[in-house]
């Protein structure tokens, strides 16, 4: 099996955290398949902003230990602005955080694992992995 470089979207982590049977989650499958996994610092923000107690924060930090974090930077910001303008012209904008995550994947040539395929598929260049 080919090892893919995959950017994990926030939705995949939230699904994993909420599931009783974690083995049926996309995140569990990707970790078990020994894929090279990344996460955007934007997703780190989203996850930690939603962790409203120490237990949830600890759970998020444990998951982050399995992932390589990619910081938001000027290259990603520039790419995001290009996609923003293009999507705006087509009247199908993305929420900024999703746009930043998608642009991160494109800049670093990563597949995106997401449960929000409808959102991310607005950018044709993105390579999506879904359930």
Which of 4, 3, 7 minimizes the C-alpha distance to 69? Answer: 7
Q: What's the pLDDT score for residue 48?
A: 97
Q: How far is residue 113's CA from residue 76's CA, in Å, rounded to a whole number?
A: 18
pTM for the whole thing?
0.92
Q: What's the pLDDT score for residue 129?
A: 87
Determine the average pLDDT of the residues in 8-29.
94
Q: Summarize pLDDT for 94-109 with one digit per residue, the tens.
A: 899 999 999 999 999 9
Q: Total domain count for the chain?
A: 1
Q: Summarize pLDDT for 26-57 with one digit per residue, the tens.
A: 999 998 887 899 999 999 999 999 999 999 99
Place 131 in a pLDDT band, splitting at 50, 70 and 90: low
Q: What is the CATH number of the domain that holds 68?
A: 3.40.50.1010
Enclosing domain of residue 14: 5-129
Q: How far is residue 108's CA from residue 35's CA, in Å, rounded to a whole number?
A: 16
Q: How far is CA 58 from CA 18, 24, 38, 62, 96, in A?
A: 14, 22, 19, 6, 26
């Amino acid at each position: 099996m080919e090892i893919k470089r995959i950017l994990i979207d926030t939705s995949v982590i939230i699904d994993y955290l909420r599931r009783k049977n974690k083995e049926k989650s996309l995140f569990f499958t990707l970790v078990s398949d020994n894929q090279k996994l990344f996460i955007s610092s934007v997703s780190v923000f989203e996850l930690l902003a939603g962790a409203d107690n120490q237990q949830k924060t600890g759970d998020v930090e444990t998951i982050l230990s399995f992932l390589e974090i990619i910081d938001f930077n000027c290259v990603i910001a520039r790419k995001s602005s290009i996609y923003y303008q293009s999507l705006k012209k087509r009247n199908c904008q993305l929420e900024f955080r999703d746009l930043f995550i998608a642009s991160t994947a494109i800049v670093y040539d990563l597949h995106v694992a997401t449960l929000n395929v409808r959102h991310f598929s607005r950018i044709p260049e993105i390579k999506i992995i879904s359930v």
